[in-house]
Amino acid sequence: MMAWATGAVLIALFLMPSQTFPRAKDYSFLVEALKDPLKDEAPLYAFNTFEEDFDNGGHQVDLRFLNDHPTLVRNIRKDLGGGEIAWRLENSRHRLLFVPEKRKKFARLYEDYCNDVIHYILQETELDNPYVKIETLLQERPRLSEKGVTVFLVHNLAKEVVGTYVFSNPVQKSLMIELSRKTFLGEVGSYSTNIRLRENGEPEFTWNRFTIWQTTAKNPFAVLCVPAEETLHIALREHTHRAILEQITPETLQDTDDLEAIVEDWMTVEEALVGGLTYALLPDFLKRYAMNLSDSLIEEDLESRGKFKQYQHLKRAIEVIGSVGHEKAIKMYVDHPANFRNSLI
């Protein structure tokens, strides 16, 4: 199974007509609160139960840990009676952990901000609202809706990976150890979908019924653009799925590298479209309701995003959408995703 997720996008400030805005709000306090770069790393609550699945990143961390701790390996060899030992990964499981957002005034204001930005973006794009609710998450293992997508707001987000390893010697004596690690993800927003093969060999997409938005980041601008960006990702993802399926061949399904390349290519296209739309639509909202947001924060974010491969088409997408308009760009992607992709290359 293959999965992918999305991060934050970039925008700049321009002035647009005012008649499309939701009710007036002053988000100056929100901007000031977001300037605090400190993130709490406790208490950590479980978002979901452990899922058994191979995590290559976690496995590589385990290998580095074993290489960096030769004393542990020597003790394992000693416990097994000395001599040559072999090992295997018996089981790998992972789950998400979160630190709840305990600043009540901040949490209420950020919920309002998310609702206002979502309303504005959907009104401008005429896309359907994918959400059933927005919730500041305070308790473990929330119940997920069977329809639509729930937004969970958290202060900080982490991933816990547990690997079970079995060490053995030639006479079949064995010893089992577990290596567990928790890593803070640094993702302000993400929405994951998966591609898998049915029993008949046909590819099929599945998607999460939730998206998790973090209320802290090094650059406060990253937090402010999440509601716009993730809403666009979710609303447009079905068309990305269609484009991927149209490019998959029976030969592709036999080669994981080819399949991953197709998915990665289309995700960079979706990132470019979402980034360009955010750039075109959100700035006037921020200019009016977050007037204390410094332009330098936007410039810093733009510069940092340019270092990542997933945003390789963003500059060109901003040019294309600035030329044809956001309505035509969305229609192009909905009708023929390949046409929008071709405009970027």
Question: Residues 163-193, buried b or exposed e (16+ Cβ, 10 A)?
Answer: bebebebeeeeebeeebeeeeebebbbbbeb
User: Residue 89: which H helix or E strand, with range?
Assistant: strand 86-99
pLDDT, position 11: 26
CA distances from 343 to 245, 267, 272, 276 (A): 20, 15, 11, 13
**pLDDT-derived band of residue 111, with 50, 70 and 90 as boundaries?**
very high
Average per-residue pLDDT in the chain?
88
Give mean pLDDT, residues 123-144.
Answer: 96
Question: Where do we find the tokens 């089981």?
Answer: 91
* 244, 140 Cβ separation under 8 angstroms: no
The CB-based long-range contact list for 233-237 (8 Å cut-off, 24+ gap) reads 233/6, 233/191, 233/270, 233/274, 234/130, 234/149, 234/191, 235/122, 235/125, 235/127, 235/128, 235/130, 236/127, 236/270, 236/273, 236/274, 236/330, 236/333, 236/334, 237/191, 237/193, 237/207, 237/270
Give me the pLDDT at residue 302, please. Answer: 80
Q: Where are the domains of the chain?
A: 2-45+97-156+186-344
Tokens (6 digits) for 330? 């969305």
Supply the pLDDT for residue 24.
Answer: 57
How much of the chain exceeds pLDDT 70, in percent?
Answer: 93
Average pLDDT of the segment spanning 58-66: 81
For the chain, the C-alpha Rg in angstroms (whole number) is 23
Q: Rounded CA gap, 306 and 315, in Å?
A: 9
Express each pLDDT in 239-267 by its tens digit. Answer: 999 999 999 988 888 888 888 899 999 99
pLDDT at 142 (0 to 100): 96
Cα(218)–Cα(205) distance, rounded to whole angstroms? 33
What does the pLDDT read at residue 239? Answer: 97
- What is the rounded average pLDDT of the residues 102-124? 96
Match 């005429």 to its residue by tokens.
126
Structure tokens at 73: 């390996």
Tokens for 200?
Answer: 């008949």
Residue 143: its H or E element: none
Q: What is the pTM of this model?
A: 0.86
Three-state secondary structure call for residue 53? coil
Closest-CA residue to 320 (of 333, 301, 310, 305): 333
Over 70: is that where the pLDDT of 197 sits?
A: yes
Residue in 105, 192, 99, 222 with CA at minimum distance from that of residue 153: 99
The Cα 227–Cα 216 span in angstroms is: 14
Contact 72, 19 (CB under 8 A): no
Q: Show the tokens assigned to 84.
A: 């040559």
More confident residue, 300 or 242: 242
